[in-house]
Amino acid sequence: MQTTQFQSAVGIAHPIVQGPMNGASPPALAAAVSNAGGLGSCAAALLAPSAILETAAQLRGLTDKPFNMNLFLLPELQTPPALEQAQALLQPIREELGLPPAQTPLRFSENCRDQIAALLEAAPPVASFTFGLLDAQVVRQFRKKDIQVIGTATTVAEARAWEEAGADFICALGAEAGGHRATFLGDFEQSCIGLMALVPQVTHAVKVPVIAAGGLMSGRGIAAAMLLGAQAAQMGTAFLCCPESGIAPAWRAALAAAHDDGTRLTRSFSGRWARGIVNEFMEHMRPYEQVLPAYPVQNALTTELRQAATRAGRSEFMSLWAGQGVAMGRPMPAAQLVDTLVEELRLAR
Ligand SMILES: Cc1cc2nc3c(=O)[nH]c(=O)nc-3n(C[C@H](O)[C@H](O)[C@H](O)COP(=O)(O)O)c2cc1C
């Protein structure tokens, strides 16, 4: 099989990226994918700077192959958010889960600038970013340390902005994708572009290699994305089904039971639009979706509730992130999944 420019630049055997997944992409998963010849990724958005360094060290202990670490790019909160209404909406569910009345979180997220500094120090071979855009000068700092940069884009304008900032690669994220939308420039709804339409337009607009993400679950899917101009496929939901993702049994069961129409986008869990399997929490919060505080505030307000639900195996209150291809998920070890995808891709080409 022909090696793409992306594969050569990163130094991987296969055009397969395991997408970073908060809470579901531990070093064991990323290393298994990298060792199998793909690019494994660890989500670092919720990690403190010291944990970012520890995670990079763990990864280096598990693989000598290239790997990726990922951050959310968030502006600093300017004014203290109004919390009363959002907390009141969550109170009945807290009671149902036996939680005491909510305390105001001391802070809502890690400091993004400190995380970027830690990632520069950790120096993974590849760093990917979502929710925003790095300054060209910061991208240069990554490049100086031989860290290749992937910028996530949901529109042509976002892809061009990342290319102008100096990103090495663009991850084009289709509307089918599981987890959070990456949109940072345009209107969120207008930026929900299906992958079949997004990939050819992005590859036409930028010169750097494009990675396609969203709804890809098989070698045929990867082949289709590559036929449209992508040089690799980034897959989240497919790898979520692997035992190494370490997700809770209730989430795994929900993945196994989901159908093609089982997911939708919601702001209810985090304050940012994200795709997950529809459950009672999403339905309960649906009427208030537009008035909830933005990420990371709502995310912080629901953290304790989601953790309690996970401990209790109550999937009706958990954030069950998954993409529209979820019903095609195949629970198997990550290395086996990479091998299977490679063989399917070979047959499809
Ligand atoms: C549970 C979950 C968590 C995710 N967390 C992140 C993240 O922290 N950073 C990121 O850039 N993308 C994140 N994503 C997106 C994936 O990396 C990937 O782009 C996406 O899952 C591709 O769509 P698919 O799920 O249809 O394969 C997440 C996706 C899922 C399903």
Beta bridge partners of 189: none
Nearest to 169 by CA among 70, 236, 53: 70
User: What SS3 state is found at 126?
Assistant: strand
Testing ligand 1's pocket by substitution, the residue of 67, 180, 310 carrying the most ligand atoms inside 8 A of its CB is 180
Position 328, amino acid: M
215 CB near ligand 1 (under 6 Å): yes
19 CB near ligand 1 (under 6 Å): yes
Amino acid 278: pLDDT: 98
Q: What is the pLDDT along the chain (349 residues), one digit of tens a residue?
A: 789 999 999 999 999 999 999 999 999 999 999 999 999 999 999 999 999 999 999 999 999 999 999 999 998 877 777 899 999 999 999 999 999 999 888 889 999 999 999 999 999 999 999 999 999 999 999 999 999 999 999 999 999 999 999 999 999 999 999 999 999 999 999 999 999 999 999 999 999 999 999 999 999 999 999 999 999 999 999 999 999 999 999 999 999 999 999 999 999 999 999 999 999 999 999 999 999 999 999 999 999 999 999 999 999 999 999 999 999 999 999 999 999 999 999 999 8
Amino acid 106: pLDDT: 81
CA of 23 to the centre of ligand 1 (A): 10
Nearest to 325 by CA among 177, 152, 171, 173: 177
CA of 290 to the centre of ligand 1 (A): 23
Ligand 1 atom with least separation from CA of 130: 11
Nearest to 93 by CA among 312, 274, 326, 341: 312
Amino acid 143: pLDDT: 97
Say if pTM beats, i.e. exceeds, 0.95: yes
Ligand 1 atom with least separation from CA of 43: 8
Terminal-residue alpha carbon distance, the chain: 9
323 CB near ligand 1 (under 6 Å): yes
List the residue whose alpha carbon is closest to atom 9 of ligand 1. Answer: 20
Cα–Cα dist 6/120, whole Å: 22
175 CB near ligand 1 (under 6 Å): no
List the residue whose alpha carbon is closest to atom 15 of ligand 1. Answer: 179
Amino acid 335: pLDDT: 98
User: 């629901």: which residue's tokens?
Assistant: 302
Amino acid 275: pLDDT: 98
Cα–Cα dist 75/186, whole Å: 16
234 CB near ligand 1 (under 6 Å): yes
- The contacts of residue 267 (CB under 8 Å, 6+ apart) are 273, 274, 289, 290, 292, 298
Ligand 1 atom with least separation from CA of 275: 31
Ligand 1 atom with least separation from CA of 325: 26
Amino acid 195: pLDDT: 98
CA distances from 233 to 1, 172, 317, 337, 344 (A): 15, 10, 31, 14, 13
Chain centre to alpha carbon of residue 4 = 23
Ligand 1 atom with least separation from CA of 24: 1
Amino acid 207: pLDDT: 98
